Structure 1
């Protein structure tokens, strides 16, 4: 992999990681259409680090508030809104963590085919459209409950299937539960922090025993994915309430059609 390929792949990862359009559906295209080699585990970790830096920096006020509020809650031995939010995020992370430990080998060996990615890109894209159209969109994040967090967490576990889109399926679940678009997006993005940390740590452990990475490409992956992911989240949060999910649904239908045409 050369520098240009690294820039394009990191840009794709950053732009698609947080939009409800399936990052795996995009990352399969360069290797299939252009014959590019697999980016490798080290580069995969790098772009995830970049995405993590972007989302933590964008929601830095929320992250700091949750952290300080949770410490205060422990000191006072009393729940507060920040500690409740932390609990909701923990509950929402557990299903995906357990599913990854249980089904990771099956997913890697059986569910990474182009047909699966094209099918999930289409099906879960249509489900996102249904949720956006028929969800009541009445609830703010103040109405989050343990049960709602658990359901959204179970949806996040489904995103282990390539092509589903982690952000897409969690926003879909939140919309079906009646949350507003910006609330669904905000909770989905905050949920991504612990799951990216866990995923990056797991892949990092695998990387320890691997070959020495190309540090220049690693640096490109971190920087480009961080910048593009931040810009993507900034734009998405600014327009989602008035724009809705329809453009992303239509985009997923087109992407799925392209994948079917190329691979089936």
Structure 2
């Protein structure tokens, strides 16, 4: 790798992680369309660490309140809206954690293919379009029940299929349950935190045990660039999502998916 590849991949990751267009799809796509070698899942996870720092910083006040309330719910059994939201994030993470452990080998080999990528972009893009058009809800995150949370959690597990988009499928599920666009996006962003933490921890363990040399300058540079672009993406996405809706992202997904099928079939 060189610094141009590092910065381009970091910007791509930061700008697509929280948009419903599949960041993993773009990280696979870039080397497929250039002369660059695939950067590998280890660098992908480093870029996700930058995205993690962005969402933690952006929602830091919410996370502090959720953590305090969750602690009280455990020690004193005092349950308020922040504690329920914290428990919802935990419950919503369980399905993808189980699926990730069971499908780890397939994800790293067979499924990292432009064809699967294109299929995921188109199919789940159409599903997002239908949910955004058909289900114009006004429910807020605080109004979710445990069945709603589990449904969104199961949807998140589907995002292990490349091209699905973790943020896209969780927003789709939220819209189908009657959540507003902003509420769907907010819960999707909060739900990303434990998922990225788990992915980074597992891959870090793999790297440590394998003894693979790591270029820490590139890794740190990727984390910083990804974090900055992801923070800006979150800010502007939440500011404009109610105005622009999901259809522009659907159109982009379909065009990209069709182009990939034309190129690789």
How far did residue 77 of structure 1 move? Answer: 2.0
Give yes or no for contact 1:41–1:207 (8 Å, CA) kept in 2. no
1:40/1:28 CA distance change after superposition, 3 Å? closer
**SS at structure 2 position matched to 1:11:** helix
> Where do residues 22-171 of structure 1 align in structure 2 (5 Å cutoff)?
22-171=22-171
| Distance across 2 between alignment mates of 1:223 and 1:82 | 30
| Distance across 1 between alignment mates of 2:13 and 2:211 | 22
How far did residue 41 of structure 1 move? Answer: 4.2
**SS at structure 1 position matched to 2:261:** helix
How far did residue 146 of structure 1 move? Answer: 0.6
| Distance across 1 between alignment mates of 2:42 and 2:249 | 30
Q: Residues 217-238 of structure 1: CA distance to partner in whole angstroms, max 9, x if unpaired?
A: 1121111000011011111000
> Where do residues 10-25 of structure 1 align in structure 2 (5 Å cutoff)?
10-25=10-25
Task: Return 193-202 or 80-89, whichever deviates more.
Answer: 80-89
Q: Residues 33-52 of structure 1: CA distance to partner in whole angstroms, max 9, x if unpaired?
A: 21201213442232111110
Identify the residue that residue 240 of structure 2 maps to in structure 1. 239
RMSD: 1.2
| Distance across 1 between alignment mates of 2:45 and 2:153 | 23
Give the paired residue count: 264
Identify the residue that residue 263 of structure 2 maps to in structure 1. 262
1:106/1:260 CA distance change after superposition, 3 Å? same
Identify the residue that residue 249 of structure 2 maps to in structure 1. 248
How far did residue 244 of structure 1 move? Answer: 0.5
Query: What stretches of structure 2 of length at least 5 have no aligned partner?
Result: none
Query: What stretches of structure 1 of length at least 5 have no aligned partner?
Result: none
| Distance across 1 between alignment mates of 2:255 and 2:223 | 29
How far did residue 29 of structure 1 move? Answer: 2.5
Task: Return 20-29 or 222-231, whichever deviates more.
Answer: 20-29
Give yes or no for contact 2:41–2:108 (8 Å, CA) kept in 1. no
Identify the residue that residue 204 of structure 2 maps to in structure 1. 204
Give yes or no for contact 1:70–1:82 (8 Å, CA) kept in 2. yes
| Distance across 2 between alignment mates of 1:237 and 1:258 | 29
| Distance across 2 between alignment mates of 1:41 and 1:195 | 15
Task: Return 197-206 or 19-28, whichever deviates more.
Answer: 19-28
| Distance across 2 between alignment mates of 1:247 and 1:238 | 16
| Distance across 2 between alignment mates of 1:77 and 1:148 | 22
How far did residue 80 of structure 1 move? Answer: 1.6
| TM-score, length basis structure 1 | 0.96
Give yes or no for contact 2:9–2:27 (8 Å, CA) kept in 1. yes
**SS at structure 2 position matched to 1:190:** helix
Give yes or no for contact 1:58–1:230 (8 Å, CA) kept in 2. yes
Give yes or no for contact 1:42–1:213 (8 Å, CA) kept in 2. no
| Distance across 1 between alignment mates of 2:254 and 2:39 | 26
